[in-house]
Structures are given as structure tokens and as C-alpha cells.
Amino acid sequence: MKKSVFLVLVFSLIAMGAMAQKDKYVSIGIKGGVNMPRMMYFNNTYLSRLPQAWKFTPTGGLFVDIPVGEFLAIAPEADYVERGTDITYIHNSGAEIHYALSVRYVDLRLPVEFRIPIEPYLQPFVTLGAEGGMRLGGSIHIDRTNPIPLDATIEVGDVNMTLFHVGAFAGAGLRSLVSIGDFDLLLKLTATYHQGFLDTYTKEEKEESVHAVNVNAYKITGSRLPQGIEVCLSIGIPLKPRLDDACRSFSRDRYRPHGDGRHLFGF
């Protein structure tokens, strides 16, 4: 029994190895998934202690996967992502306050993937890289119960959010080159942690030339740095030459009708 199970396992691995081609071609494709954004309040004890709820926002974009050597790849990408936070807390006055910040960005990213050298079908990898983005827009929503009830939404702009984002990320994933007949697909499932490096507070907020919008609990000290966890599925198409053209030409020559109207081997 054990010998049969072992043989089945061996032949299964051989079959999967035959299905999985060498992942050595440049691929282009799309990616999509979810982002769970938060804010890191650095050097601000009060705000850093406020509970942040986990939000789930969409993210996605385009990528190019470029193998460099046998176990290394770079994958430049352009992405849409939302950053921000969602905080609900009880103020010292007894008021229940809800503060939600949601900011949309377009990012340019440069991931570097280090594949773990195991074959055949699923290839684990670790990834790290740098990212830079520009703010597209967003909103700040605030509501409170007392002393004066408030429910307001304002647009994010230059006075309450810096324009650019710079950060880094790291994570892990699985990749596979799947063959469906003559058609190949590169699939990647990745989970990454992202950390922003630029303070998102504006100069106007810190100089108090504009009102800091987070009711009376918002104290502009330290830095507000974006964070996030992303889980994405990427689907790419390898850009490789059609190696079977010669065989197909041979096949057509082999089976096409000749002068006597007959096909070779009866076809």
C-alpha cells in the first residue's frame, strides 16, 4: 500500500513537472485584490493609542514580470490603491467620535522577487521593493454625538493631505506557470506589508493656518505615516515565440492533399 502511494506521488510530481514550463519569459498582465489601510501616528502618544478598525478597499493595476536569472525577477507595476484610516473612540467629554480618512492614489512600484528554488508546479517567493505615488483625491468623514451633534464630509486636498507618497513593502507569495493547451498563463498570489516614509500632515496643518479636521481630539504633533496590508492575485501572459510554428507547418504539409487528391495516412 505504501509503495503504491509512493509511486502515485512520484508520477504526479513528474506529470506536474511536465506541465510546468520554465518560467523564463517576460510576462505582462493585470492584478487585483484588497488593501487593508491604517495610519501610523509617529511621536504622537494620544493618537497612536486610538483604535483603528480594519477596512477593506480595492486595489489593482498592470504589471510586467521580467525574469533575471533562474530564481530572480523584477516586476514593475502601476497600481490604484486607497490609503487612510477608520477610528471610533470615546472622547474625554463623553462624546462618541467617528473619523474616517480615505485617500486614492496611483502608484508606481518596483518589486524584486526572490524565488525559492524548488520545482515543479508552485514556486514560493519572497518580495520586497519601493513605491511612489501621487494623490488623486479622497474624503474625510466625521461624526460625533455631543456636545453639538456633527455629521460632515469634506474633500481631501492640498491643505489636509500631502500630494506625494513614498514607501517600501515586503511580503511573500506563490507563482505558477499554467499551461492550457497551447496557451500559458502566469499566476501569482501575493501578500505584502506596506510602510510609508513621508509625513502626510501638511505644512498648513502643522502651522495651524488651517483647521485640523478631527474634532477636538486632533493634535498635530509627530508624523502621520500610511501603512497597509495587501493581498493580490496577478494574471500574466508570457511573451514568447510560437515554438510550434515549424511543427504546424510540417503538419499541414503532411496532411494536405497532393496532386492525386489523396491525404497521407488516409487523412
Q: What's the domain count of the chain? A: 1
In a domain, 11, yes or no: no
In a domain, 85, yes or no: yes
In a domain, 9, yes or no: no
In a domain, 152, yes or no: yes
Quick one: pLDDT at residue 22? Answer: 56
In a domain, 81, yes or no: yes
Q: What is the pTM of this model?
A: 0.78
- pLDDT tens readout for residues 114-172: 998 776 678 899 999 999 999 999 999 988 877 777 788 989 999 889 999 999 999 99
Average pLDDT over residues 230-240: 95
User: CATH no. for residue 79?
Assistant: 2.40.128
- φ, ψ for residue 247, nearest 5 deg: -65, -40
In a domain, 12, yes or no: no
pLDDT over threshold 90, residue 101 = yes
Q: With bands split at pLDDT 50, 70 and 90, how would you rate the model's confidence at 208?
A: confident
pLDDT over threshold 50, residue 99 = yes
In a domain, 14, yes or no: no
Q: Quote the domain boundaries for residue 69.
A: 19-249
In a domain, 262, yes or no: no
Is the peptide bond preceding residue 111 cis, with omega within 30 degrees of 0?
A: no
Quick one: pLDDT at residue 267? Answer: 23
